[in-house]
């Protein structure tokens, strides 16, 4: 510790109680001038020079805090934001080099849903689709639906064009038995991801609506702007997290459908939670709720 006491030296760290943890992404920080934001000095302890974690935690205990970086409310909000973004991976394409042990002979991408079909109100039943980059007419997919029209095929079947030489499977041929566990797992992940995606949109719309009502009542745009920051931050984090998760899965040698989907889902959940946490810090400077 410094020879100078707390009364004669500017604090190096400010330590806030757990009750104030939902206002910041951490309770121990050393950002110059941050003490001036909002009446945050209430119940705060000062550490002139914290040389160790023990001294920091001692100051936290003095302020009535727990060994926690965020409040329980913030942790619950982060969890909700993260899991509600679990379906984000269905909105994007990922680069792909191998699938089920087969090296693809060109630059390819994989998608786990075709959201363009959602808006066109078309049947969107494919479990995944591998596409040649920039060429939507050359594809390989696993599909799940009953026969439509005069075309007869198994419930679980292949859709492909231009991939016969890669996998040796004809269009509308049954999915090989050795891949059925993968196919059924992908169907569960597809449905689950869609549910979380829709739930997240509904929850966000509700929260934005509530914030808009508060803005009207208080005569300031701050509440709805702050909520929009939280929402945008969480979705942006989920989007980036899904891509990072998929890429890390590829580096780890994960190349099967469910494995790749799970790494993207996991990255989206983590990214959505972290994105919310960072955005919540900024949003609370705009309007504390």
> pLDDT tens for residues 126-185?
999 999 877 767 899 999 999 987 888 999 999 999 888 888 899 999 999 999 999 999
Angle between helices 257-286 and 180-218 (to 10 degrees): 10
**Between residues 77 and 187, which one has the greater pLDDT?**
187
What value does the mean pLDDT take over residues 104-127?
A: 87
14, pLDDT greater than 60: no
139 phi, psi to nearest 5 deg: -150, 165
* Residue 233, pLDDT score: 92
Segment 241-267, tens digit of pLDDT: 999 999 999 888 888 889 999 999 999
Tokens describing residue 146: 């009953």
* Residue 72, pLDDT score: 65
- Report helix, strand or coil for 73: helix
* Residue 16, pLDDT score: 45
* Residue 73, pLDDT score: 72
Segment 212-227, tens digit of pLDDT: 999 999 999 989 999 9
What value does the mean pLDDT take over residues 34-46?
A: 39
* Residue 269, pLDDT score: 95
**CA distance linking residue 60 with residue 120, whole number of Å:** 55
β-pairing verdict for 93-99 and 102-111: antiparallel
Can you give the residue ranges of every domain in the chain? 13-70, 82-87+181-286, 92-179
């Amino acid at each position: 510790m410094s020879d100078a006491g707390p009364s004669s030296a500017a604090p190096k760290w400010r330590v806030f109680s757990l009750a104030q943890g939902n206002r910041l992404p951490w309770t121990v920080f050393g950002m110059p001038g941050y003490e001036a934001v909002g009446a945050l000095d209430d119940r705060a302890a000062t550490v002139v020079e914290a040389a160790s974690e023990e001294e920091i935690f001692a100051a936290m205990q003095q302020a009535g805090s727990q060994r926690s970086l965020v409040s329980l409310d913030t942790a619950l909000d982060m969890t909700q934001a993260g899991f509600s973004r679990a379906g984000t991976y269905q909105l994007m394409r990922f680069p792909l080099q191998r699938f089920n042990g087969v090296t693809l002979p060109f630059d390819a991408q994989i998608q786990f849903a075709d959201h363009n079909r959602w808006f066109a109100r078309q049947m969107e039943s494919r479990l995944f689709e591998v596409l040649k980059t920039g060429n939507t007419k050359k594809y390989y997919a696993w599909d799940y639906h009953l026969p439509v029209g005069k075309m007869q095929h198994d419930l679980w079947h292949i859709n492909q064009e231009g991939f016969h030489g890669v996998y040796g499977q004809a269009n509308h041929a049954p999915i090989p038995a050795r891949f059925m566990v993968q196919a059924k797992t992908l169907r569960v992940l597809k449905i689950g991801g869609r549910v979380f995606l829709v739930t997240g949109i509904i929850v966000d719309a509700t929260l934005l609506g509530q914030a808009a009502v508060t803005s009207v009542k208080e005569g300031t745009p701050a509440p709805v702007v702050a909520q929009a920051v939280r929402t945008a931050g969480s979705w942006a984090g989920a989007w980036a997290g899904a891509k990072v998760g998929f890429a890390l899965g590829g580096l780890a040698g994960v190349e099967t459908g469910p494995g790749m989907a799970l790494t993207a889902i996991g990255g989206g959940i983590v990214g959505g939670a972290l994105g919310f946490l960072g955005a919540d810090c900024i949003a609370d400077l705009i309007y504390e709720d």
